[in-house]
Amino acid sequence: MNQKKRMILIVGMILMLVSLACNLSLQDGKLSIPITLKEDTIKQIISTAQSAAASQGEKLPLIEVEDIEFVEPDRIVAKGQYQALGGQRLNGQVELKFSVVNDQPKVEVTAINIPGVDLASDAVKKVNEALSKVIRDQVNQAGEGAVIKSITVEADALKILVEVTVRR
């Protein structure tokens, strides 16, 4: 075997081992990349979405998420302290549902247990949009042309499966 063929074989084996170790798979020229978002990352996403909604003039209580409960297959419940507009601190929770629509992430508040906050308000709609955008931005870091194939909730994380076309 000549040197060039041996090098190609070695590189191919290294790529195969890396893909197995990183839980990546390559099929039909498409690389599947799982992205795992743990509790701390989800807290950051919620905080970023709040900031985005507030920058658009929306008035919602400031959420200080203390705990995330993962509810399979597609929901999380964020529990914590909420500072009401008058400054009073209240316990409360928000349930978020995750899905994929037209290869784009969709996050929506499906239940809210915070006094004075209406689920159908424009502010909640803006938070839904901001949450979806933050997830979309996270996925775009996987590379140009990344397509979201699924979003699922497992015991301790939110899992996003992204597919990227490999150019030859």
Q: What is 59-75 written as a DSSP string?
A: --PEEEEEEEEEETTTE
159/141 Cα distance (integer angstroms): 15
Q: Is 34 exposed, middle or buried (0-12, 13-18, 19+ CB in 10 A)?
A: middle
Contact (CB, 8 A) for 63 and 46: yes
Phi, psi of 121 (to 5 degrees): -70, 155
Contact (CB, 8 A) for 88 and 61: no
In a domain, 73, yes or no: yes
The domain total for the chain is 1
pLDDT at 75: 96
- Residue-number span of the structural domain to which 74 is assigned: 29-165
In a domain, 160, yes or no: yes
In a domain, 12, yes or no: no
C-alpha to C-alpha distances, 7 to 17, 27, 60, 74, 128, nearest whole angstrom: 15, 23, 59, 44, 50
Sign, CA torsion 163/129/41/97: negative
* DSSP category for residue 47: H
Q: Which of 10-24, 88-102, 138-152 reaches the highest mean pLDDT?
A: 88-102
In a domain, 16, yes or no: no
| pLDDT tens-digit map of 40-76 | 988 888 887 777 767 766 666 677 889 999 999 999 9
Global pTM exceeds 0.85 = no
Contact (CB, 8 A) for 108 and 95: no
In a domain, 62, yes or no: yes
In a domain, 84, yes or no: yes
In a domain, 95, yes or no: yes
In a domain, 14, yes or no: no
Q: Residues 105-119: what's their mean pLDDT? A: 86
Q: Is 77 exposed, middle or buried (0-12, 13-18, 19+ CB in 10 A)?
A: middle
